[in-house]
Amino acid sequence: KPLFVFLVLHILCISCDSLLLTVIVLCMTDNGVLLIHGADYGRRDSTTCSLNLPASQLQNVQCSKPISILADSCNGKSNCTVKVSSSVFGDPCFGTYKYLEMAYSCHFHSVTCEGSQAKLQCGQVIVVYWANFGRRDNTTCPDGNTAQLQNVTCLSPNSPENVTNSCNWQNSCTVEASNTVFGDPCGGTYKYLEVVYDCQDHSVTCEGSQSNLQCGENTVIVVSWANYGRRDTTTCPGQYTIANLYDVNCFWSGSMEYVTNSSVDPCVNIYKYLEVFYTCQGK
């Protein structure tokens, strides 16, 4: 059952640079895990977190420092606790009253210990948002000796690409959690593969027909990918000849506006169809 995806915006006023605040980020959905879309420490307008403060501390609105530690430690977890202050993040603008802004949403999650295979399956299609083959705590996949569990900052930057290549836009996929697939980001560590993904709806409309995407009440359609063309020989066979179905590499992909640009025919004489991948998101 697809999760209902909300983008949550969270703003935390930092009352004092030297005070160490603890912020808890939490997924309220059952079995949902966090995906941090962005986190920024500084000041980007003069009104946020401005109550009773002197103008001099609100003037600098071009103070911004992306905080990657939030994604590194929170992605893939149902909740996480992060320490917040200039002493942790560094001070991007001394003398300015700062705040932490972050945006996150909740999604499905899979964990696979090194040497096993991750099997993702959706009723519709898989969209991978984040993945890591490495180790971020010493309790997940605890087999192996203590030394093999010690490096809990083992991150591998290529992991998302390696997983999206075999999983995106499929109903199911299998990926081996191994050095062969991902390379070895930290030798001597017993690793595991974490994947944050969604199951998205998929709509197919044959050339000449109208597509009709639907979402429930109080939700909006968010298109993540669309293609007008042909990617296989079985979808929309129609009354057309084999020759018409032959070009299965007919792509005209991107955003919905781009794909439905009627002045473009990506493959002349091929009977095409429009595919749209989308989710229904809360308003």
Ligand X SMILES: *[C@@H]1O[C@H](CO)[C@@H](O)[C@H](O)[C@H]1NC(C)=O
138 is a contact residue toward ligand X (CB under 6 A): yes
Binding mask 237-276 for ligand X (x = CB under 6 A): ---------------------x--x-xx------------
Shorter beta-carbon distance to ligand X: residue 122 or 163: 163
Distance, in Å, from the CA atom of 279 to the CA atom of 223, rounded to the nearest integer, reads 7
Which stretch, 48-56, 73-81, 83-91, 224-232, contacts ligand X (CB under 6 A)?
A: 73-81
Question: Is 189 within 8 Å of 154 (Cβ atoms)?
Answer: yes
Distance, in Å, from the CA atom of 9 to the CA atom of 39, rounded to the nearest integer, reads 10
Distance, in Å, from the CA atom of 91 to the CA atom of 60, rounded to the nearest integer, reads 13
Shorter beta-carbon distance to ligand X: residue 21 or 181: 181
Distance, in Å, from the CA atom of 194 to the CA atom of 185, rounded to the nearest integer, reads 14
Q: H/E element holding 109? A: strand 99-113
Which stretch, 53-61, 75-83, 109-117, 270-278, contacts ligand X (CB under 6 A)?
A: 75-83
Question: How far is the CA of 221 from the CAs of 63, 126, 134, 208, 282, in angstroms?
Answer: 34, 17, 34, 22, 9
Nearest distance in Å: CB 131, ligand X: 11
Instruction: Tell which residue, 162, 156, 160, has the closest CA to residue 191.
Output: 156
Nearest distance in Å: CB 147, ligand X: 9
Nearest distance in Å: CB 46, ligand X: 35
- Tell me the sheet residues that pair with 172: 121
Question: How far is the CA of 169 from the CAs of 105, 126, 278, in angstroms?
Answer: 20, 5, 11
Shorter beta-carbon distance to ligand X: residue 185 or 229: 185
Binding mask 178-197 for ligand X (x = CB under 6 A): ---x---xx-----------
Site residues for ligand X, 144-173, by CB under 6 A, read 146, 149, 151, 153-155, 158, 161-162, 165
Question: How far is the CA of 233 from the CAs of 58, 111, 211, in angstroms?
Answer: 60, 35, 20
Shorter beta-carbon distance to ligand X: residue 154 or 245: 154
Number of residues that bind ligand X (CB under 6 A): 22
Nearest distance in Å: CB 90, ligand X: 20
Name the closest residue to ligand X (Cβ): 186
The structure tokens listed for 6 are 């909300």
Contact residues for ligand X, defined by CB under 6 A: 77-79, 134, 138, 146, 149, 151, 153-155, 158, 161-162, 165, 181, 185-186, 258, 261, 263-264
